[in-house]
Amino acid sequence: CLFRVLLPCYYLASKWITLLKLKVGQARIWNFSVQKKYQFYYPLQWLNLAYLPDLSGSLIHHCYLRLLGTKIGMNSASLGAFFRDDDLIDLGDFVMINRGTFLLSHMQANGLKGYYLTAPMRIRDKSNIGINNTLFPYSDIASELNIPDNSPPIYYKINLQ
């Protein structure tokens, strides 16, 4: 039981000590800062995700995500969603993200072999992301949009405003 309390605290401290705030842009994959991130921070994140589903959708989980840098609007819920690169994700008001959804804000840069791309992700007000979806960098989900369950993992560059 103590392990479940100490692991998120250790993860939170390691995130702010090793990474501080992620920068939008691209970097070489073998850059020291990127290597440090992959070798130290991401294994901790996966270990941490194994113990967080119990808290999913709770006020404690939202506070925890805010401490990691995620911008979360009023009355938003993430029920079992996986967040990577927390400080690049922006959730509007009344957003619902269902279980199994993977929010990924980094990937290999398109056409640039050996480069790593980090980009912001925004889900606007009153949107609903169905079960088992994947959102990639530069995703911009329009207000009041419903993405159905098990949609193919593509860039959702949908902004009708």
Q: What is the mean pLDDT of each run of 10 residues along the chain (161 residues)?
A: 72 73 72 64 64 71 84 87 82 91 78 75 92 86 88 57 40
Report the largest interatomic distance among the alpha carbons of the chain, rounded to a whole angstrom: 47
pLDDT at position 152 is 78
pLDDT of residue 158: 43
In the prediction, which pLDDT does 38 show? Answer: 62
| pLDDT reported for residue 34 | 62
pLDDT given for residue 127 in this prediction: 93
pTM, two decimals, is 0.78
78 exposure class (CB count in 10 Å sphere: 0-12, 13-18, 19+): buried
For tokens 């692991």, what's the residue? Answer: 7
- pLDDT of 1: 64
* pLDDT at residue 31, as a whole number: 66
Supply the pLDDT for residue 30.
67
Secondary structure of the chain as H, E, C letters:
CHHHHHHHHHHHHHHHHHCCCCCCEEEECCCHHHHHHHHHHHHHHHHHHCCCHHHCCCHHHHHHHHHHCCEECCCCEECCCEECCHHHEEECCCCEECCCCEECCEEECCCCCCEEEECCEEECCCCEECCCCEECCCCEECCCCEECCCCCCCCCEECCC
Question: How far apart are the C-alpha atoms of 156 and 134, rounded to whole Å?
Answer: 10
Q: Given this model, what pLDDT does residue 161 score?
A: 40
d(CA 76, CA 97) in angstroms, rounded, equals 8
